[in-house]
Structure 1
Amino acid sequence: MALHDFVPAANQGGDPAVYEIENEAIDPQGTLWEALRRAADWRHKVLVDLGCGSGYWLPKYSESEKTIGIEPDERLLEAARARTRRAHVYHGSAEHIPLADSSVDVVHARFAYFFPSESFDPSAGLEEVARVLRPGGRLVVIDNDHVLGEFAALLRSSAPAAGQGRDSYPSTWWREKGAKTLAVMSGWTFHRRTDLERVLHLEFPEELAQQWLSSHPERLGLSYGYLLHIWTKP
Structure 2
Amino acid sequence: MTYRRQHFSKPFLSEFVKSVCNNVDVRRDVIPSPNIWHYPDVYEIENRGVDPGGVLEAAMLRIHDWAGLDLLDVGCGTGFHLPRFAASARRVVGVEPHPPLVRRAQQRVAALPAAVRSRITVLRGKAQQLPLPPASVDVVHARWSYFFGPGSEPGLAELGRVLRHGGTAFVIDNDATRSTFGRWFRTALPSYDAEAVERFWARQGWQREPLTMRWELPDRAAFEAVVRIEFDPENAEAILTEHDAASVDYAVNLFWRRF
Q: Same fold (TM over 0.5)?
A: yes
Per-residue deviation, 1:194: 0.2
Q: Which residue does the alignment assign to 2:148?
A: 115
Q: Which residue does the alignment assign to 1:81?
A: 106
Q: Which residue does the alignment assign to 1:100?
A: 133
| Equivalent residues in 2 for 1:13-92, closer than 5 Å | 13-61=37-85, 62-84=87-109, 85=117, 86-92=119-125
* Counterpart code for 1:34: A
TM-score (structure 2 length as normaliser): 0.83
Q: Which residue does the alignment assign to 1:126?
A: 156
Count of aligned residue pairs for this structure pair: 224
Per-residue deviation, 1:114: 4.6
Q: Which residue does the alignment assign to 1:227?
A: 253
* Counterpart code for 1:22: E
Runs of 4+ displaced beyond 6 Å? none
Per-residue deviation, 1:40: 2.2
CA contact (8 A) 1:26 1:189 kept: yes
Per-residue deviation, 1:37: 1.4
Q: Deviations over 1:177-198 (max 9, x none)?
A: 1111000100101111000000
Q: Distance in 1 between matches of 2:181 and 2:243?
A: 13
Q: Which residue does the alignment assign to 2:195?
A: 168
Q: Rate the CA distance shift 1:114–1:197 in 2: closer, same or farther, 3 A.
A: closer
Q: Select between 29-38 and 136-145 the one with higher mean Cα deviation.
A: 29-38
Q: Distance in 1 between matches of 2:133 and 2:170?
A: 19
Q: Percent identity among equivalent residues?
A: 36
Q: Distance in 2 between matches of 1:114 and 1:191?
A: 27
Q: Distance in 2 between matches of 1:216 and 1:175?
A: 34
TM-score (structure 1 length as normaliser): 0.92
Q: Which residue does the alignment assign to 1:199?
A: 226
Q: Distance in 1 between matches of 2:152 and 2:237?
A: 33
* Unaligned 5+ runs, structure 2: 1-26, 110-116
CA contact (8 A) 1:114 1:141 kept: no
CA contact (8 A) 1:11 1:19 kept: yes
Q: Deviations over 1:159-203 (max 9, x none)?
A: 3x74xx332112111111111100010010111100000000110
Q: Distance in 2 between matches of 1:63 and 1:167?
A: 34
CA contact (8 A) 1:185 1:223 kept: yes
Q: Distance in 2 between matches of 1:88 and 1:21?
A: 23
CA contact (8 A) 1:158 1:205 kept: yes
Q: Which residue does the alignment assign to 2:216?
A: 189
Q: Counterpart of 2:30 in 1: which secondary structure?
A: coil
Q: Distance in 2 between matches of 1:166 and 1:23?
A: 26
* Unaligned 5+ runs, structure 1: none
Q: CA RMSD in A?
A: 1.4
Q: Distance in 1 between matches of 2:219 and 2:235?
A: 20
Is 2:169 the counterpart of 1:139?
A: yes
CA contact (8 A) 1:181 1:229 kept: yes
